[in-house]
Amino acid sequence: MSVRRLATHQPEGFAFTPANLEWANAQIKKSPDGRQASAVLPILWRAQEQVGGWLPEPALRYVADMLGLAYIRIYEIATFYTMFNLAPVGRHYVQVCGTTPCWLRGADEIKDTCRRLIGAPGQVTEDGLFSWTEVECLGACVNAPVVQIDKDYYEDLVPKSLERILKELKAGRPVVPGPQDGRQASAPLGGPITLTDPELYREEAGAPADPPKPGALKQAPRTSRRPKPR
């Protein structure tokens, strides 16, 4: 993993808003006495969200003081987990998956599109709207190539569809996340290829029934497999 350092330019201070402070204290109370440090990850995440997508050094010290931790412990956590950004990011933070499945499906072209429209990795556009970086597997390999923008996944991308997404976001218009090529979730591109025999869907009375259309079947509720207590 590459070396991660705190940004050179830092704000003078940090403090939670009253609402976030109340939330953070509620997280701390979930842990027994002496184990308050267990809340460090969610509290750091909330601090990052409050600042606008990154963790300045005063926020690290603030959280350390709140949890009774040495500053170095907080620095170790923030520099280890790549979910924490140590420098300012754009309002829309684009994370491009570059792991093998996405690379085989065109991630290099997606990264080239980001360089052309946004700039170098880690660079924030002049209007403050965008920045991007390459990340490891986003866990949506069947829909490669994939990017995560803010909290949403945009899948089955080509340069043209990513360019359209960025254009819509810049204009302040909503963009539907998920597959961008008409695919239904992670289904085959050409439609169903299994369980298509009409005989499988005959009604009990013997009258033939058409196979259900994609997306028509509702997922059965999950049932617990835990053994019942004796």
- pLDDT digits 0-9 by tens, 57-93: 999 999 999 999 999 999 999 999 989 999 999 999 9
What confidence score (pLDDT) does residue 223 get? 46
Q: Which one of 179, 203, 225 terminates a domain?
A: 179
Whichever domain contains 173, its CATH number is 3.40.30.10
Q: Is residue 47 part of a domain?
A: yes
Q: Which two tokens stand for residue 52?
A: 């606008």
138/174 same-domain check: yes
Residue by residue, DSSP assigns 175-200 as: ---EESSS--TTS-TTS--SS--GGG
Q: Which residues of the chain have pLDDT under 50?
A: 217, 219-224
Tokens 């090529």 appear where? 181
Q: Is residue 211 part of a domain?
A: no
CA-wise closest residue to 97 among 148, 142, 54, 143: 148
56/100 same-domain check: no
One-letter amino acid at 176 equals: V
Q: Which two tokens stand for residue 187?
A: 């289904």
Domain extent for 73: 18-80
What confidence score (pLDDT) does residue 228 get? 55
What confidence score (pLDDT) does residue 23 get? 97
Q: Which one of 155, 179, 203 terminates a domain?
A: 179
